[in-house]
């Protein structure tokens, strides 16, 4: 993964010193609450329902063992001993003290971590596929481009006070999209043109929140070296013309819609023409110097399906289930990609203790070249596990709570912290997730249902990505009471689509039963090969609606 | 006399700001000495004002710097208003005036100008800062120099770090 040089270290140290200065002035009242607000947000610090919340950046999801141990220490020393992985590959602490935050940031900076631009109206952490660099279905490793974008977007002098937050995601897989790029402010799909030249298909104006939209393509092919100047042109057009009069209409998607994608693209092209040949244009050398940090580790020459693995899978059904569900094919023979699920029933999705963080550090050193990835589905990934060590790994993680074999099933729920923690939430989300997990506790049944994405958000801000869940649940407030609205048919993949609302909302205690009825309709209606989403697209909303809202006689 | 932060330190500010164009039916009444007028006034009285040589123009954050593209060689001063410090349009305006239109006179930040944004303003081409009067002007120099380097190109450093890293 990327390693800092003297420049990166210097810039980050100066950032920590700057925030220490700002925090001190905020504590004496020299900076008003309003003046301090964007400064602390751009250093990851929210003030939440119970206490401040610090969102620590994990650039495009990559972490090493040293960083995990430091996170564990910070979690233990400055918080209550657990952290929460978010839906944008970041990690949050829920109870730090405001005055401690400069010290926390200093400790993180020692291991090349920070909380830069994890909040506020600026360019946020660039995210990508958690299987980047190791999945066979990938044109090229997207992480060097993410790092290039990270550097370009860090303390960009022109774009620190945009109309609203701004999120960029990059995908390089041809047939899947684990980065949900079409629901980002900018989505970059790495492609080759007819001549074999590398570049990007550029989507702009996607996003969730109050007005969910799938981002239209504004440029079919952008040559690789033009990446940063083109991004600069997009963000400049947005900075100048995005709405600032209403925060709910301030995201770039509203501007793209108002100008039409074609009209928006024209403005971007006009701006880009002025700057495309400036020194900010990337060079092959600049990309190469980042790529050296993402070369392959020292893989052994191995064969797929070693005898020990085959034997263990046939002897132990639980192990076999786990291999089938929680591991993915690796581009190298003899290796698998392993997901450590943070979705054990009874534990809020994405939550992890300080001790567990250290255990993951040990595991990644023992099994996966000392690195781990955070996923937008709130799990962790060991990307390079030898197949002949899978059984040992599985035995090691079972008692630690990372082996719940439910990856991509109905109970692998994406869920925001919700009303238990978040000041913005209208409703709790964690208890709903847990109740659904309890209802669907039969693994064989879950496997039979196949891949289903169930996403829960506690409010319109949609941190739980409910719009793009195959089944989406949104917490709403009705006269002070919490209700839940269900949508069906969403997808964050290449076929991205915003889910459609099923009908009137439900009380919290009804939710497991509602989900069960929806699942039953699927099971009755599906053909042999159909996933939940396939069936929904074929039969439409009505059968689901009729079942869920049928009155009992 | 109010003070202004410039590249070579804190100075008395000799410029007067005309905050609004005259209402309809009223005639333009300019104060003595150097004056900064709204862009609408400049456009209405361009030839007369130009002859004076001590008239600058200020832009509101939604106003287009393109409006001054033909005047950059004559204007001694352009000011950009930050109606709220969270309104970031002025940063783009600054860069465009410097990098696209080649303005080389004084580029002044006015309005809700606070300490923690000064360095961003400078990187976007501003070289004079009318700090909000309740802020400690003595801290400006420190805040203008929080960072000793940056990743991106800007008005002063035209070559981004990735090209300079390469060269070493």
Q: Give the β-pairing of B128-129 and B106-111.
A: parallel
Rounded CA gap, B66 and B78, in Å? 13
- Within A209-306, residue ranges assigned H as helices are 227-241, 252-259, 261-275, 284-291
At A71, give phi and psi (nearest 5°).
-60, -40
Q: Is A365 helix (H, G, I), strand (E, B) or coil?
A: helix
Give the best residue of B160, B166, B168 to mutate against chain A (max A CB count within 10 A).
B160
Q: Which residue of A has its CA nearest to B120?
A: A157
Mean pLDDT confidence for A227-242: 98
Residue among A38, A56, A42 at smallest CA distance from A109: A56
pLDDT tens, position by position, A85-133: 998 889 999 889 999 999 999 999 999 999 999 999 999 999 999 999 9
Q: Which residues contact A332 (CB under 8 A, 6 or more apart)?
A: A134, A299, A302, A384
Which residue has tokens 């255990």?
Answer: A359
Question: What region, left, alpha or beta, does residue A378 occupy, with left being phi > 0 and alpha being psi -120 to 50 degrees?
Answer: left
Contact status, residue A323 vs residue A390, Cβ threshold 8 Å: yes
Which residue has tokens 């000793």?
Answer: B148
pLDDT tens, position by position, B66-123: 999 999 999 999 999 999 999 999 999 999 999 999 999 999 999 999 999 999 999 9
Q: Which residue has the higher pLDDT, A49 or B48?
A: B48
Flag whether pLDDT at A45 surpasses 60: yes
Rounded CA gap, A109 and B115, in Å? 24
Q: Exposed, middle or buried: residue A169 (CB in 10 Å: 0-12, 13-18, 19+)?
A: buried
- H or E segment and range at residue A472: strand A471-478
pLDDT score of A49: 64
| Residues above pLDDT 90, as percent of chain A | 91
At A467, give phi and psi (nearest 5°).
-60, -30
Average pLDDT, chain A: 95
Confidence of residue A474 (pLDDT cuts 50, 70, 90): very high
Q: What CATH class is the domain B3-167?
A: alpha beta
Chain B 75-134, residues with CB within 8 Å of chain A CB atoms: 85-89, 91-92, 95, 100, 114, 116-117, 119-120, 123-124
Contacts of B149 in chain A (CB under 8 A): 7, 10-11
User: Which part of chain A has CATH 3.90.480.20?
Assistant: 6-110, 307-400
| ipTM field | 0.97
Tokens in use for A206? 């996607």
Rounded CA gap, A183 and A215, in Å? 6
Q: What CATH class is the domain A6-110?
A: alpha beta
pLDDT tens, position by position, A340-391: 999 888 888 899 999 999 999 999 999 999 999 999 889 999 999 999 999 9
pLDDT tens, position by position, A191-233: 999 999 999 999 999 999 889 999 999 999 999 999 999 999 9
Q: Which residues contact A288 (CB under 8 A, 6 or more apart)?
A: none
Q: Report the topology of domain A307-400.
A: Sulfite Reductase Hemoprotein; domain 2 (3.90.480)
Confidence of residue A480 (pLDDT cuts 50, 70, 90): confident
Tell if the CB–CB gap between A15 and B152 is shorter than 8 Å.
Answer: no
Q: Report the topology of domain A127-293.
A: Sulfite Reductase Hemoprotein; domain 1 (3.30.413)
Q: How far is CA A254 from CA A32, A272, B72, in A?
A: 31, 21, 33
Tell me the nearest-neighbour CA distance from B26 into chain A, angstroms: 31
CATH no. of A414-549 = 3.30.413.10
The edge-to-edge listing of strands for the beta sheet with B3-6 is B9-12, B3-6, B128-129, B106-111, B77-82, B55-59, B35-38, B16-17
Mean pLDDT confidence for A257-286: 98
Counting one residue from chain A and one from chain B, the pairs whose CB atoms sit within 8 A come to 101
């Amino acid at each position: 993964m990327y390693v800092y040089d003297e420049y990166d270290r210097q810039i980050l140290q100066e950032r920590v010193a700057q925030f220490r200065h700002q925090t001190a002035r905020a504590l004496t009242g020299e900076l008003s609450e309003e003046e301090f607000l964007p400064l602390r947000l751009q250093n990851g610090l929210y003030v939440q329902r119970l206490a401040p919340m610090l969102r620590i950046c994990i650039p495009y999801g990559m972490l090493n063992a040293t960083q995990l141990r430091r996170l564990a220490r910070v979690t233990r020393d400055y918080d209550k001993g657990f952290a929460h992985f978010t839906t944008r590959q970041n990690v949050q602490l829920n109870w730090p003290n405001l005055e401690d935050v400069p010290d926390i940031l200093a400790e993180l900076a020692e291991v090349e971590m920070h909380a830069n631009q994890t909040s506020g109206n600026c360019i946020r952490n660039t995210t990508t596929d958690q299987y980047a660099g190791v999945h066979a279905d990938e044109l090229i490793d997207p992480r060097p481009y993410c790092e290039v974008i990270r550097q370009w977007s860090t303390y960009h002098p022109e774009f620190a006070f945009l109309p609203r937050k701004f999120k960029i995601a990059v995908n390089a897989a041809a047939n899947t999209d684990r980065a949900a790029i079409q629901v980002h402010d900018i989505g970059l799909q790495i492609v080759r043109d007819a001549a074999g030249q590398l570049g990007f298909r550029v989507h702009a104006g996607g996003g969730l929140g109050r007005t969910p939209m799938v981002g239209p393509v504004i440029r079919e092919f952008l040559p690789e070296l033009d990446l940063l100047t083109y991004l600069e042109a997009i963000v400049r057009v947005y900075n100048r013309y995005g709405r600032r009069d209403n925060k709910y209409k301030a995201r770039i998607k509203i501007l793209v819609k108002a100008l039409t994608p074609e009209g928006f693209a024209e403005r971007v092209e006009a701006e880009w023409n002025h700057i495309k040949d400036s020194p900010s244009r990337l060079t092959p050398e600049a990309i190469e110097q980042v790529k050296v940090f993402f070369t392959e580790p020292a893989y052994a020459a191995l064969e797929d399906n070693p005898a020990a693995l085959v034997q263990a899978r046939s002897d132990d059904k639980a192990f076999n289930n786990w291999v089938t569900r929680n591991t993915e094919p690796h581009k190298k023979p003899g290796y698998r990609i392993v997901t450590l699920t943070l979705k054990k029933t009874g534990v809020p999705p994405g939550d992890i203790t300080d001790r567990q963080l250290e255990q993951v550090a040990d595991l990644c050193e023992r099994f996966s070249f000392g690195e781990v990835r955070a996923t937008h589905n709130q799990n962790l990934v060991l990307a390079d596990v030898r197949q002949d060590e899978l059984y040992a790994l599985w035995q090691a993680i079972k008692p630690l709570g990372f082996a719940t074999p439910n990856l991509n099933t109905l109970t692998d729920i994406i869920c925001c912290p919700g009303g238990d923690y978040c000041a913005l939430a209208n409703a709790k989300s964690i208890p709903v997730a847990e109740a659904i997990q309890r209802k669907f506790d039969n693994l064989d049944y879950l496997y039979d249902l196949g891949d289903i994405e169930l996403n829960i958000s506690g409010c319109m801000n949609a941190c739980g990505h409910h719009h793009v869940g195959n089944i989406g649940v949104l917490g709403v407030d009705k006269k002070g009471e919490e209700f839940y609205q269900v949508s069906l048919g969403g997808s964050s993949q290449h076929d991205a689509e915003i889910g459609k609302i099923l009908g009137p909302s439900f009380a919290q205690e009804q939710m497991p039963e509602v989900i069960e009825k929806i699942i039953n309709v699927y099971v009755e209606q599906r053909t042999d090969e159909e996933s939940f989403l396939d069936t929904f697209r074929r039969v439409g909303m009505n059968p689901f609606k009729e079942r869920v809202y049928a009155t009992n006689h | 006399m109010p003070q202004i932060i410039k590249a070579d330190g804190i100075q008395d500010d000799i410029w007067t700001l005309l905050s609004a164009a005259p209402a309809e039916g009223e005639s333009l009444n300019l104060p003595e000495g150097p004056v900064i007028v709204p862009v609408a006034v400049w456009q209405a009285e361009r030839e007369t004002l130009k002859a004076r040589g001590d008239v600058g123009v200020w832009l509101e954050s939604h106003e287009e710097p393109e409006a001054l593209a033909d005047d950059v060689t004559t204007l001694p001063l352009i000011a950009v208003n930050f109606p709220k410090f969270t309104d970031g349009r002025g940063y783009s305006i600054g860069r465009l005036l410097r990098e696209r239109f080649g303005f080389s006179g004084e580029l002044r930040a006015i309005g809700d100008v606070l300490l923690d944004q000064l360095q961003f303003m400078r990187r976007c081409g501003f070289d004079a800062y009318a700090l909000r009067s309740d802020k400690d002007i003595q801290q400006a120099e420190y805040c203008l120099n929080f960072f000793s380097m940056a990743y991106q190109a800007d008005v002063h450093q035209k070559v981004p770090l990735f090209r300079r890293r390469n060269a070493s």
